[in-house]
């Protein structure tokens, strides 16, 4: 199998998507063990409308292992980080690729990747429930984690007024002092 | 003949489930036609709680995501924070981490073997394997102070050293496992009853495993050559020869059934023993933690900015933690992904077409850890309802439960 | 043969996980397996609360499970005893400030014996079960003495 280097992968993304699509990109090299072997982690930030294309490039390169979507509530935007890894199966060849994108809270839409990677369904449904991100093309399924009668418009991991807030019930904590 | 299917709910409280989780099966005769998974009974809101604690406190929270993987989650979390902050872990600490993680794998796989035997109604094997498991718990207690929730991980290293006299004790336990392994292998792989119940049951093909992003022994039993220790070696694994174990090693072919999952887990016990022996032989000298003083470490965290991921091959598969620090005591975000989360979707192809009586063993075959998987599920506090099912649902559940119990 | 005045008959236990991390649960099973061997006293885990004398409850009670805990408690025949195993079931433990927990187990159902620890050792769990047994036998005796049939 022909393995591309991290730099070449980065170049591939830049060539295929064009410079304007990429917000940020960096390659981190991590060291492990006495022999100081290294492994690499790639971070690529893309604009939301190029996101699906970026995943397609990845799938063509080598069918990636999809780990999870991390969501971060940053003021007026929600950042989604998709964690992938490619080139597994051989010692030390695997590269972690994290593709992140920023969605404005006015327009929380992103295309689904379940047509490319069916295993992403759980994570997309979770992100939908926790952050209110709409995955275009994801079939409308009942809540996976939240109860079915959960009020709409409340997204627990949001830090703004749509979240459950940080003032949580401290029932048990109060009891400690008794 | 009508094609009507019947629906059976299983869980959240059910003798074949050690942890709360709900399943709805649509069955036609004895055959399972559809599976609906409804997790969420075990959700404690751990990521939410993590928002209000500093990374050092989170280590102990991460440990308690799951009592069986209580080395895996802190391992991945500490790596994520170290990657975000750019801390380099001392070599000796990397080795101690690997030793603890492998001891945990031995305990977890033997535990699983016992539970799987129990699900098949083979309780004498449950007792035999759990007796064998006690030895590694004794060793873990000797090394870390605790049987479960070891509390040995720290950002930048470990909290306890392994001294030369402890090495003799570790070797003694490893010898015990080498001795007993033959017996375990004989019971699980040569027993005709176990073979009858597990061969050609709960099959997951390699393609499905790849597409559904299966991890750990579940993926490897389907022939997917994937193991973080091999693919992206971290900590001490970078120095060692670790090869992902697929069932070909044992039988020459891959079926992707429950039997293959037993094979993979049993062989991994041997692999873990070998890894620990290699670690002990090459155990370097030196510091065990990058920054000993917690206050100083916390100050470093407060100044740090960056993001990092930490990956570790837990007994059940890849654990991945993502941490983003933003010059504050509290992390901007902490995301934990446990292996059972990814192995949730592969359950569906495994279960469809199986018989009702095979449900327990197929469910157990991925070694589910609902406590790990459910940490993200969230319920609403605002609605103030403790009872989240509608009354109709409850009634239906109740009637169905009575029926089930009356059988 | 009676071991002593408390050992009237075998004790059957129903184990209920209300959102625990598994730590206590595997220690409970460890208590039943050969090293600690609770079964030599006739104590065993049963599959239905309707067969049980004692409820062994672990975990910090997630909101979704709170109702189930009540239902399981109601299904257990009297006289019964409830044992809470693990710190998180007693006070919330590390999970003290979550919004999704209905609070400690004693806020949901009455509790007789508390076994602290995160997780407690099997010896501690065995001690807890014996305490519940003593209480249960006393309860049984009172019921017998006060029964109208006498």
Which ipTM score applies to this complex? 0.89
- Token pair recorded at residue A166: 């940080």
* Domain coordinates in residue numbering, chain C: 12-146
Domain housing A98: 6-176
Computed over every residue of chain C, the mean pLDDT equals 84
CB–CB contacts below 8 A, B to C? 142
Q: What digits encode the pLDDT tens for the residues B194-245? A: 888 888 888 999 998 998 889 999 999 999 888 999 999 988 998 888 888 9
Going by pLDDT thresholds of 50, 70 and 90, the confidence category of residue B76 is very high
CATH number of C12-146: 3.40.50.12280
| Calpha distance B159→B149 (Å, rounded) | 13
Whether chain A has a CB inside 8 Å of the CB on B75: the answer is no
pLDDT for A72 beyond 60: yes
R_g (Cα) of chain B, nearest Å: 22
In a domain, B346, yes or no: no
In a domain, B237, yes or no: yes
Mean pLDDT over C9-29 rounds to 86
Range with the poorest average pLDDT among B96-105, B274-283, B388-397: B388-397
Going by pLDDT thresholds of 50, 70 and 90, the confidence category of residue B3 is low
pLDDT for C7 beyond 90: no
pLDDT for B14 beyond 80: no
> Pairing between strand C54-58 and B22-28?
unpaired
Residues in chain B: 407
Interface partners of C (3+ CB pairs, < 8 Å)?
A: A, B
In a domain, B228, yes or no: yes
pLDDT for A82 beyond 90: yes
In a domain, A62, yes or no: yes
> What pLDDT does residue B270 have?
93
> What pLDDT does residue B383 have?
32
Q: What digits encode the pLDDT tens for the residues C89-141? A: 888 888 877 767 777 888 889 999 999 988 899 999 989 988 888 888 888 88
In a domain, A28, yes or no: yes
> Residues of B numbered 70-89 whose beta carbons fall under 8 angstroms of chain C's beta carbons: which are they?
70
| Calpha distance A118→A115 (Å, rounded) | 6
pLDDT for C20 beyond 70: yes
> What pLDDT does residue B66 have?
85
For C54: left if phi > 0, alpha if psi spans -120 to 50, otherwise beta; the answer is beta
pLDDT for A74 beyond 80: yes
pLDDT for B402 beyond 50: no
Domain housing B38: 6-43+351-406
Q: What digits encode the pLDDT tens for the residues B286-321? A: 989 988 899 999 999 999 999 999 999 999 889 999
Which one of B341, B362, B383 terminates a domain? B341
In a domain, B1, yes or no: no
Range with the poorest average pLDDT among A17-26, B224-233, B396-405: B396-405
pLDDT for A170 beyond 90: no
Residues in chain C: 150
- Which CATH number is A50's domain given? 3.30.460.80
Q: What digits encode the pLDDT tens for the residues C52-95? A: 888 999 888 887 788 888 888 998 888 889 999 998 888 888 88
- Token pair recorded at residue C144: 């017998």
Helix (H) or strand (E) holding C55: strand C54-58
Whether chain C has a CB inside 8 Å of the CB on B46: the answer is yes
- Which CATH number is B92's domain given? 1.10.645.10
List the single best residue of B81, B226, B233, B372 to mutate versus A (max A Cβ within 10 A): B233
What are the Cα distances from residue B179, in Å, to B184, B187, B377, C35, C116? 10, 14, 43, 19, 36
- Picking from C91, C99, C103, the nearest residue to A164 by CB comes out as C99
């Amino acid at each position: 199998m022909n393995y591309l280097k991290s730099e070449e992968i980065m170049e591939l993304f830049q060539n295929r998507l064009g410079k304007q699509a990429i917000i940020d990109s960096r390659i981190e090299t991590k060291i492990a063990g006495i022999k100081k072997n290294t492994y690499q982690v790639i971070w690529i930030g893309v604009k939301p409308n190029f996101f699906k294309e970026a995943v397609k490039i990845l799938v063509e390169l080598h069918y990636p292992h999809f780990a999870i979507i991390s969501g971060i509530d940053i003021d007026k935007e929600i950042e989604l980080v998709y964690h992938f890894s490619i080139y597994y199966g051989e010692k030390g060849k695997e590269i972690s690729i994290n593709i992140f994108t920023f969605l404005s809270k006015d327009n929380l839409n992103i295309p689904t990747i379940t047509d490319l990677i069916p295993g992403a369904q759980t994570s997309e449904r979770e992100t939908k429930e926790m952050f209110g991100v709409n995955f275009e093309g994801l079939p409308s399924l009942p809540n996976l984690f939240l109860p079915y009668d959960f009020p709409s418009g409340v997204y627990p991991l949001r830090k703004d007024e749509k979240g459950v807030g940080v003032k949580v019930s401290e029932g048990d904590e109060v009891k400690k002092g008794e | 003949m009508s094609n009507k299917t019947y629906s059976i709910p299983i869980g959240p409280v059910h003798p074949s489930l050690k942890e709360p989780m709900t399943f709805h099966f649509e069955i036609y005769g004895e055959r399972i036609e559809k599976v609906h998974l409804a997790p969420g009974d075990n959700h404690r809101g751990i990521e939410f709680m993590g928002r209000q604690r500093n990374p050092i406190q989170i280590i102990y929270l991460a440990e308690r995501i799951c009592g069986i993987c209580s080395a895996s989650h802190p391992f991945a979390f500490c790596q994520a924070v170290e990657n975000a902050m750019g801390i380099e872990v001392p070599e000796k600490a990397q080795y101690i981490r690997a030793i603890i993680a492998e001891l945990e794998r031995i305990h977890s796989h033997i535990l699983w073997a016992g539970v799987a035997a129990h699900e098949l109604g083979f309780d004498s094997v449950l007792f035999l394997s759990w007796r064998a498991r006690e030895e590694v718990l004794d060793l873990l207690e000797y090394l870390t102070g605790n049987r479960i929730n070891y509390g040995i991980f720290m950002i930048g290293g470990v909290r306890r050293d392994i001294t030369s006299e402890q090495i003799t004790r570790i070797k003694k336990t490893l010898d015990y496992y080498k001795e007993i392994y033959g017996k375990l292998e004989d019971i699980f792989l040569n027993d005709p009853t176990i073979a009858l119940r597990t061969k050609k049951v709960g099959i997951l093909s390699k393609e499905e495993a790849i597409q559904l992003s299966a991890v750990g022994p579940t993926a490897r039993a389907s022939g997917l050559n994937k193991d973080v220790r091999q693919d992206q070696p971290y900590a001490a694994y970078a120095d060692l020869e670790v090869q992902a174990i697929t069932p070909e090693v044992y039988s020459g072919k891959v079926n992707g059934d429950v039997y293959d999952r037993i094979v993979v887990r049993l062989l991994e016990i041997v692999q873990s023993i070998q890894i620990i022996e290699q670690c002990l032989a090459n155990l370097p000298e030196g510091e065990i933690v990058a920054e000993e003083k917690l206050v100083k470490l916390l100050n470093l965290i407060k100044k740090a900015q960056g993001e990092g991921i930490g990956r570790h091959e837990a007994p059940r598969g890849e654990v991945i933690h993502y941490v983003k620090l933003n010059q504050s005591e509290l992390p901007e975000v902490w995301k934990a992904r446990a292996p059972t989360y990814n192995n949730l979707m592969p359950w569906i192809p495994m279960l469809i077409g199986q018989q009702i009586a095979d449900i327990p063993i197929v469910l157990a075959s991925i070694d589910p850890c609902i406590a790990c998987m459910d940490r993200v599920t969230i319920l609403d506090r605002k609605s103030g309802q403790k009872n989240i099912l509608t009354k109709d649902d409850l009634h239906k559940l109740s009637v169905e439960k009575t029926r089930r119990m009356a059988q | 043969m009676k071991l002593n005045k408390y050992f009237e008959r075998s004790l059957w236990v129903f184990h209920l996980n209300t959102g625990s991390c598994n730590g206590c649960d595997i220690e409970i099973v460890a208590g039943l397996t050969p090293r600690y061997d609770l079964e030599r006293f006739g104590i065993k885990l049963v599959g239905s609360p309707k067969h049980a004398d004692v409820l062994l409850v672990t975990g910090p009670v997630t909101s979704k499970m709170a109702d189930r805990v009540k239902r399981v408690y109601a299904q257990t025949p009297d006289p019964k005893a409830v044992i809470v195993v693990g710190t998180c079931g007693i006070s919330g433990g590390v999970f003290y400030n979550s919004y999704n927990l209905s609070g400690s187990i004693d806020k949901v159902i009455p509790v007789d014996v508390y076994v602290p620890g995160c997780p407690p050792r099997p010896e501690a769990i065995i001690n807890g079960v014996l305490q519940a047994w003593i209480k249960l036998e006393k309860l049984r005796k009172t019921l017998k003495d006060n029964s109208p049939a006498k």
